[in-house]
Amino acid sequence: MNRQFQSSPGGRPLRGLFVSGTGTDVGKTVALAALLRACLKAGVRVRPVKPVQTGVSGPDDARGDAAVYAAAVAGLGNAVAPATLRRFVMPASPHLAAGREGVHLDVESLRAAVLRHWEGDEDAQGLLLEGAGGLHVPLNDSEDMLDLMESLGLPVLLVGGNYLGGINHLLLSVEAVAARGLTLAGVILSDTQPVAREDEDTLAIRKDNEALLRRRLDERGAQLVLLPFEPDLHSEPRASLAWQALADVCAPLVETVRRACDPCAGEEAAARIEDMQERDRQSLWHPYTSATEPLPVFVMARSRRNRLALADGRELVDGMSSWWTAVHGYNHPRLTAALRRQAGRMPHVMFGGITHEPAVLLAERLLDLLPEGLDRVFFADSGSVAVEVALKMALQYQQGMGRKEKSRFLTPRGGYHGDTLGAMSVCDPVTGMHTLFRGVLAQQIFMERPSCRFDASFDPSCLDDARRAFEEHGHEIAAVILEPVVQGAGGMWFYHPAYLRGLAELCREHGALLIFDEIATGFGRTGKMFALEHAGVAPDILCCGKALTGGIMTLAATVCSQRVAEGICHGGQVFMHGPTFMGNPLACSVALASLDLLAGGAWQRQVAALESSLRTGLSPCADMPGVADVRVLGGIGVVETEQPVNMAALQAFFVQRGVWIRPFNRLIYLMPPYVSHAEDIARLCDAVRAAVMEKKI
């Protein structure tokens, strides 16, 4: 299946193959040139493109790969128009050669150059892209050729040398391609040097390489082609015959190229997408939607950095971080590498009576990040479960201290804490999406939400309703639970940090615990590592999750003070909770890698840049009809409308604009991955402004 990742700016899906090698001098250019000749002879109009070429001085340099392509098709009468998009003189890696000339290469610019070239070549059915060197040849300090291949998403044709050690390089390259989710179109095993018939050892190695590789590729459904050494490629007049001999060898791959370049593939893909959507409607139930009249769904194919690719080839700028989680962007190599390492060692083990290094290290790292006084980490499966754990901790603590009458929770309106029963009971009874269950939920105590805006002067009277609640119910309040500074799904409201300081004093006066739900706000989203840092307040219990693993795995944690832990265990009691996948080693390992990325400190600069771009992009909405409020904090931007939005229509509008934004109720909000560039934030904000101006809300 040709899984095109990126459509060009004009909307034409990129088609073709990406030809890469196991390293330099493995015959990659000759193999591509021979395949090019075979395709043109068969009527498949493909164009050879070299995104980066080093060791050449200009377009007429005979050392360039374009000269080899031209030689291979000499006499055919086809206009090949080979292209080299970036050239550098130094014969070295693109990273080093470009740096020598003061140029910084990156995947985004190279991808854009490929797509511009494709868009301008309307006669081509597809491109044969040739990489520089091997898969991991560096383009810059953090990106390599495989990153470019992944960004384009074309099927990959690997070329490797048929010599001692070559099979190892090929199989490693095959695994690397598979690990990126790319399709392996085939392998060309190239004889790079002539071998005398009497050299029985070398001949045996080549034959064994072929047999072993063929078996491995048969398991993957990929073709193997043996490309012999041709001594006459540069010898006139025999060169044309030599190239044709190699083209004949590559002929079995022509059909693979034809399929990869077939314009009808778009129609087939559309039919598959419609089929997938229909099967989805018949078998799946999506969050917050009807099973009988579901909202439309968009079929995704791939993700990369801050991009989501639809199965139809369109690419969307992500504005949601997959509900607050993917702060480092998608497919981050350090996170996926941590996942693979741990998967090969120990994917899971029960946490009852057993411990392991990833869990211990993660607990220590979390405690180092959190305020002094939080001492014990309890791992959970998800944010909702972490809240359930926190509520149970508070209740068991009060019982352990002999205060059984303290069995209810105080919480502000406008809050949201999850969808399990206990968590639902402390969500806003009106805006918290759980009014249907009011009759069966534990009856908690609600106070007015903090009325003091984050960006305004603090008014102590905003605590009056909290004081009233404690005066009336202080004897029965086990704990106060709230989201510090930012109320999330209950209303996306940003309130003044001083409110938390006053609330903490009230809790201490009345013997109630203070629970902070940092599931959405933790790990940098508000401009602080945890939102509580805005107020300088430490809770008795804290919940975190979502961004903990950078969006790779589900994992959450409930952290409490030693005082709470001792109160729960008073009199020989134990805490009565134990998730099956508690402390999952895979999730813990990925979380450690995510915390390593955060420890580098780049997130602070990134979130500050997000805040600036979001303010610039969204502030014009404040004066538009139908808008009630605009607010921005850290990496969160909110446009609150006067009336509930038509979510299905607005979602479709955003996708048409090339962005992924998931509004709800009266809120159009953005929380992009930290790695998003200013241009992408501008694109997200442009789409929001357009939705308001064109009355799509």
Which residues does the annotation mark as catalytic? 288, 416, 517, 546
Q: Report which of 534, 519, 451 is spatially closest to residue 481, judged by C-alpha positions.
A: 519
Cβ 492 vs Cβ 640: under 8 Å? yes
* Distant-in-sequence, close-in-space partners of 588: CB < 8 Å, separation ≥ 6: 356, 358, 359, 361, 362, 379, 555
Burial (0-12, 13-18, 19+ Cβ within 10 Å), 299: middle
Tokens of 345: 């060692």
Tell me the three state secondary structure of residue 211: helix
Q: What is the largest CA-CA distance in the chain?
A: 101
Q: Report which of 246, 214, 248, 221 is spatially closest to residue 233, judged by C-alpha positions.
A: 246
Cβ 531 vs Cβ 518: under 8 Å? yes
C-alpha–C-alpha distance, residues 127 and 124, integer Å: 7
Tell me the three state secondary structure of residue 106: coil
C-alpha–C-alpha distance, residues 529 and 106, integer Å: 29
* Distant-in-sequence, close-in-space partners of 378: CB < 8 Å, separation ≥ 6: 389, 393, 557, 558, 559, 560, 575, 577
Cβ 406 vs Cβ 476: under 8 Å? yes
Tokens of 39: 């395709």
C-alpha–C-alpha distance, residues 527 and 504, integer Å: 22
Going by the DSSP 8-state scheme, the letter that residue 485 receives in this structure is: S
Scan for tokens 């491109």, then name that residue. Answer: 127
> In the chain, helix, strand, coil percent, each to 5?
40, 20, 40
* Distant-in-sequence, close-in-space partners of 545: CB < 8 Å, separation ≥ 6: 380, 382, 383, 386, 519, 522, 555, 556, 557
C-alpha–C-alpha distance, residues 593 and 604, integer Å: 17
Strands (E), 467-561: 477-482, 486-487, 493-494, 513-517, 541-544, 556-560
Radius of gyration of the chain (CA): 30
Provide the H-helix boundaries in 459-577.
464-473, 498-510, 562-568
Q: Using alpha carbons only, what angle is made at residue 520 by residues 552 and 554, rounded to the nearest 5 degrees?
A: 25
What sign for the dihedral angle of Cα 520, 525, 528, 534? negative
C-alpha–C-alpha distance, residues 554 and 124, integer Å: 44
Helical (H) or strand (E) element with 363 = helix 357-369
Strands (E), 342-453: 376-380, 408-412, 445-447
Q: Which residues of 121-151 are buried (b: 16+ CB within 10 A; e: fewer)?
A: beebbbbbbbbbbbbebbbeeebbbbbbbbb
By DSSP bridging, strand 223-227 and strand 184-190 are parallel
C-alpha–C-alpha distance, residues 322 and 330, integer Å: 10
C-alpha–C-alpha distance, residues 632 and 347, integer Å: 40
What sign for the dihedral angle of Cα 373, 378, 379, 384? negative
C-alpha–C-alpha distance, residues 413 and 449, integer Å: 5
